[in-house]
Amino acid sequence: MASTLWRPLAVWLLTLLACLVFLPARAGVMDGASMKQAFPLPLVVGEKDKALPVWPIYKQEATETILVGYAFESIDLAPLPGFSGVPVNLLVLLDAQGGFRDVRVLSQHEPVFLDGLGPEPLEKFVAQYKGLNLKQHVKIDSRAKSAGQDASANVIIDGVAKATASVRIVNQSLMSSALAVARAKMGFAEGRDPSLIGRIREDVFEPLDFNALQRAELVTRQTLRNRDVEAAFAGSVGEGQDEEARRNPGGLFTEWMVLHLNVPTVGRNILTEKGWRYLKTWIEPGDHAFLVATRGRYSFVGEDYQGGAVPTRLTLSQGGLPIELRDLDVDDKIRLPEDWRGADVHWKVFKVISQASLDPTQPMKFALSVTREKGLILPEKVRKEFEMEIQLPEDYAIPSGNEQQSWKTSWTGRKLDLSVLAVGLALLTVMLARPAWLVRDERRMRWVRNAYLLYTLGFIGWFAQGQLSIVNLTGILQAIVNGRSLGFLLYDPMTVLLWGYAALTFFVWGRGTFCGWLCPFGALQDLISQLAGYLGVYKKWKRRAVPRVWDRRLKGVKYVVLAVIVALALIPGSNLVDSAVEVEPFKTAITLAFVRSWPFVVWAVAMVLLSVFVYKGYCRYLCPLGATMAILGRARLLRWIPRRVECGQPCQTCRHRCAYQAIEPQGQIDYNECFQCMDCVAIHDSDTRCAPLISARKGQTIPIRTIKEQVA
pLDDT score at 707: 40
pLDDT score at 277: 87
pLDDT score at 437: 84
Confidence of residue 142 (pLDDT cuts 50, 70, 90): low
pLDDT score at 145: 42
- Closest by Cα among 443, 502, 445 to 472: 502
pLDDT higher than 80, residue 572: no
Instruction: Express as a percent the part of the chain with pLDDT over 70.
Output: 81
Mean pLDDT, to the nearest integer, of 81-110? 82
| Residues whose CB falls within 8 Å of the CB of residue 659, separated by 6 or more in sequence, listed in order | 615, 616, 677, 679
Using one digit for the tens of pLDDT, what is the confidence trace for 100-124?
999 998 888 777 777 667 788 888 8
**Helix H or strand E segment including 638:** none
DSSP E strands in 198-251: the ranges are: 199-200, 220-225
- DSSP summary character for residue 460: I
DSSP codes joined into one string, 24-48: PPP-----HHHHHHHS-TTEEE-PP
80/169 Cα distance (integer angstroms):
7
pLDDT higher than 50, residue 5: no
pLDDT score at 464: 85
Using one digit for the tens of pLDDT, what is the confidence trace for 601-658?
899 999 999 888 888 889 889 999 989 988 988 888 878 778 887 887 788 778 878 8
pLDDT score at 51: 75
Instruction: Express as a percent the part of the chain with pLDDT over 90.
Output: 22
**Three-state SS at 322:** strand
Mean pLDDT, to the nearest integer, of 321-350? 83
pLDDT score at 387: 92
Mean pLDDT (the chain, rounded): 80
Q: How far is CA 118 from CA 165, 489, 506, 582, 595, in A?
A: 16, 22, 35, 14, 11
pLDDT score at 18: 40
Using one digit for the tens of pLDDT, what is the confidence trace for 381-434?
888 989 999 999 988 988 765 444 456 666 877 888 899 999 999 999 998 888
| Relative orientation angle of helices 493-506 and 624-632, to the nearest 10 degrees | 50
Mean pLDDT, to the nearest integer, of 271-276? 89
pLDDT higher than 60, residue 355: no
pLDDT score at 497: 92
- In angstroms, the first-to-last Cα distance of the chain is 21
Using one digit for the tens of pLDDT, what is the confidence trace for 495-554?
889 999 999 988 888 888 899 899 999 999 999 988 988 888 876 666 677 888 888 889
pLDDT higher than 50, residue 151: no
Mean pLDDT, to the nearest integer, of 699-705? 54
Confidence of residue 242 (pLDDT cuts 50, 70, 90): confident
Q: Within 13 Å, how many C-alpha atoms sit on residue 524's CB side? A: 27
pLDDT higher than 50, residue 24: no
Domain ranges of the chain: 199-398, 642-712
23, 29, 33, 38 alpha-carbon torsion, rounded to 10°: -170
pLDDT higher than 50, residue 23: no
pLDDT higher than 80, residue 135: no
DSSP codes joined into one string, 61-129: ETTEEEEEEEEEEHHHH---B-TTSSB-EEEEEEETTSBEEEEEEEE---HIIIIIS-SHHHHHHHHTT
**Helix H or strand E segment including 388:** strand 380-390
Confidence of residue 207 (pLDDT cuts 50, 70, 90): very high
Confidence of residue 85 (pLDDT cuts 50, 70, 90): low
pLDDT score at 152: 37
Confidence of residue 153 (pLDDT cuts 50, 70, 90): very low
Using one digit for the tens of pLDDT, what is the confidence trace for 279-299?
888 887 778 999 999 999 999
Q: How far is CA 131 from CA 54, 108, 273, 531, in A?
A: 20, 23, 45, 53
The alpha-helical segments, DSSP class H, found in 105-225 are 111, 120-127, 164-185, 210-215
Contact of 629 with 676, CB cutoff 8 Å: no
Confidence of residue 14 (pLDDT cuts 50, 70, 90): very low
Contact of 53 with 77, CB cutoff 8 Å: yes
Confidence of residue 701 (pLDDT cuts 50, 70, 90): low
pLDDT score at 330: 78
Higher model confidence: residue 11 or residue 315? 315
Mean pLDDT, to the nearest integer, of 1-14? 42
pLDDT score at 26: 44
| Relative orientation angle of helices 164-185 and 120-127, to the nearest 10 degrees | 40
Confidence of residue 708 (pLDDT cuts 50, 70, 90): very low
